[in-house]
Amino acid sequence: LDCFAVHLDAFAGRAARVDQFRPVLEAAVAAGADGRVVVGGDFNTHQHGLAALMPSLGGGFWSGDWRGTEAARWRADVFAKTPLRDPFDDDAGATTVSLGGLTLWGGKLDWLLYDERRLACVATGAASSKDASDHPWLRIDVTPS
């Protein structure tokens, strides 16, 4: 099993995050042709909602596109072209920013992908709290397919 862990730059902008991830994506897809692959980490896919208004988080990739979340765009524009799948919906394990009990922003920052060519996901889990980190943990159980 080949495992890749990433932490993409939060302030680089969307296009830069995709560029940062491209070498990992290529290596993971190549490794998955002959073996089993899991990719996980903090992708910082947060450029939507109120965060889209912050210039320090901006970038040219999907610029001016207000349809959905950045995570949804990664699914459609990056992962859909590969055998890598994240079994969590974009709300499961989402990281939120709150002020006085009011959620100001929430989104999928963390991903746990598996290569569906050689693995099948049989169970998932996500923390219901953020006791150990500011991000909830994610877990997948995979079996050879």
Query: What is the Cα 21 distance to its own chain's centre?
Result: 11
pTM of the model: 0.82
Place of tokens 């902008």: 13
Report pLDDT for 132: 67
Q: Average pLDDT for consecutive 10-residue bins of the chain (145 residues)?
A: 94 84 96 93 76 55 59 90 91 65 73 96 85 81 95
**Mapping DSSP to helix (H, G, I), strand (E, B) and coil, where does residue 132 land?**
coil
27, 33 in Cβ contact below 8 A?
A: no
